[in-house]
Amino acid sequence: MLEPYARLAERALRDEPPEQAQALWILDGDDVELLPLLHAAYVPRRSHFGRKVMVHILNNVQSGLCAEDCGYCSQSRDSKAAIRKYPLKSDDEILAEAERAARAGASRYCMVASGRGPSLERTRRLAAIVRRVKERFPIEVCLSVGIIDEEHARILAEAGLDRLNHNLNTSKAHYAEICSTHEHADRVRTLVAAKKCGLEPCSGLIVGMGETSRDVVDVAFELRELEVPSIPVNFLIPIEGNPVASDGSLTPERCLRALALMRFVNPRAEIRVAGGREGHLRALGPLALWPANSLFVEGYLTTRGDAIAETTRMIRDAGFEVEGNPLSAQEPADEQGGFQLSGIDGEILKTA
Ligand code: SF4
C-alpha cells in the first residue's frame, strides 16, 4: 500500500488516530485518491469486523410534537415539514414492529422517540417495552429518547437495553448554529450517564449542516475521547420546511471521506453509514462498506430509505456478509418483501 495511506492503516491497527493535520487532509486534501483511502480504511474495519455488515432498523415510536428547535429535524417546534405527528405508539404496535424487524433480518432494532427527554414514568414504560422485546426476540435493542440522566439510564439498563443513542450531531463550536434549546454539553452528559450505568453509548453526527471540516474532525475526536463504540454518520437529508438547509457540500466523495475519517479516528467502533446514504452516496453507496460496517435499512425517522431486500443484495454483491439474527436465519431476507414502519412518509430524497 502506498504512503500516506499505509501509515493511516498501520496507525489505526495500533488504535492510534491520525494526527490532526492528517485528519483534515483526509477530508480536504486535493491529492487524496479515493480508492487507496478507502482501502486503507478497510484494513482496521476488516481486522475488527471481518466482512460482516450489521443491519439496523429504526422505528420512530413517537413522531413530532417536540418543543426543541434542532434546525435539521422535521420534528422540531420550528419545522414546517409535512410529517405525520403522533404520540408514543401502543406497546403492542412497537412489539409487532420489533418482531417484523427481527424476522426481516435486522441485527438491531432501534426505537426512537421525539422530544427533549422522557419523564421517569415514560422511561419506566419504555423499559417495560425493552424487556418484552428482549424476552421475545433474538435482537439487540437500542433506544434514542433525548437527554437523560443516570436515574433514567439505570432503569433502562436494568431492563436489558443494549444501547442508548444520543448523537452529538456537530461540534461544540458549531452547536449554537443548529440548536438553541439545549447545549452540546447536555448531549455529552447523557452519553456519560449511559456509559456509567452499563449501557453502550451510541453517538454520531450529521455532515452537511454548514460546518467546517475542522468541526467534523473535532466530533470524530470527541467521540473517540468518549469511547463511543457505535457511531452513526448521517448526511443531512434536506427536508423542505426545516430551518437548516443543505449547505451544498455533500458529494459522494465527501461522504466517503467522512466515513473513512471516522474509521481512522475510531478504528474499533461500529461505524454506521446512516441517514442520507441513498440520496447522497448514490451509485457509490456500496463503497461505504469499506470504511463502515453497519447501516440502516427501511428508512429514517421521517423519510424513506432503501428496502432491506435491496440493501442485503447490495451488501452481498459487494462481497460482504449480512450479520443477521437467529430468527432471520430461518427466513432469508431475500424472500421477504421490504416493509416500511409506520410513521415514515415521503420518498427517498435524491439530493443534488
Ligand atoms: S432532534 Fe430530537 S430533540 Fe431535537 S427537535 Fe428533533 S426530536 Fe426534538
- Taking only the tens place, the pLDDT of each residue in 135-151 is 998 888 999 999 999 99
Q: Does 348 map to a domain? A: no
Q: Does 335 map to a domain? A: no
pLDDT exceeds cutoff 50 at 348: no
- Look up the pTM and report it: 0.91
pLDDT tier for residue 346 given thresholds of 50, 70 and 90? very low
pLDDT tier for residue 326 given thresholds of 50, 70 and 90? low
Q: Does 294 map to a domain? A: yes
Q: Is the CB of 73 under 6 A from ligand 1?
A: yes
179 is catalytic: no
How many Å lie between the centroid of ligand 1 and the Cα of residue 259? 24
Q: How many CB atoms lie within 10 A of CB 303?
A: 21
Q: Does 307 map to a domain? A: yes
The pLDDT of 94-108, averaged and rounded, is 86
Q: Does 352 map to a domain? A: no
How many Å lie between the centroid of ligand 1 and the Cα of residue 113? 9
Q: Does 149 map to a domain? A: yes
pLDDT exceeds cutoff 90 at 224: yes
Q: Is the CB of 144 under 6 A from ligand 1?
A: no
Q: Residue 298 is part of which domain span?
A: 37-324
Return phi, psi of residue 350, to 5°: -90, 110
pLDDT of residue 330: 57
Buried b (16+ CB within 10 A) or exposed e, 130-146: bbbbbeebebbbbbbbb
Q: How far apart are CA 220 and CA 262, in angstroms?
A: 6
The pLDDT of 276-298, averaged and rounded, is 94
What is the four-CA torsion angle of 183, 185, 188, 189, rounded to 10 degrees? -110
Comparison of pLDDT for 74 and 43, the residue scoring more: 43
Q: Does 7 map to a domain? A: no
pLDDT exceeds cutoff 70 at 23: yes
Start-to-end C-alpha separation, the chain? 34
Domains in the chain, number? 1
254 is catalytic: no
Contact (CB, 8 A) for 23 and 265: yes
User: What CATH number has the domain bearing residue 77?
Assistant: 3.20.20.70
Q: Does 331 map to a domain? A: no
- Taking only the tens place, the pLDDT of each residue in 165-221 is 999 999 999 999 999 999 999 999 999 999 999 999 999 999 999 999 999 999 999
Contact (CB, 8 A) for 126 and 145: yes
The alpha-carbon radius of gyration of the chain (Å, integer) is 19
Q: Is the CB of 68 under 6 A from ligand 1?
A: yes
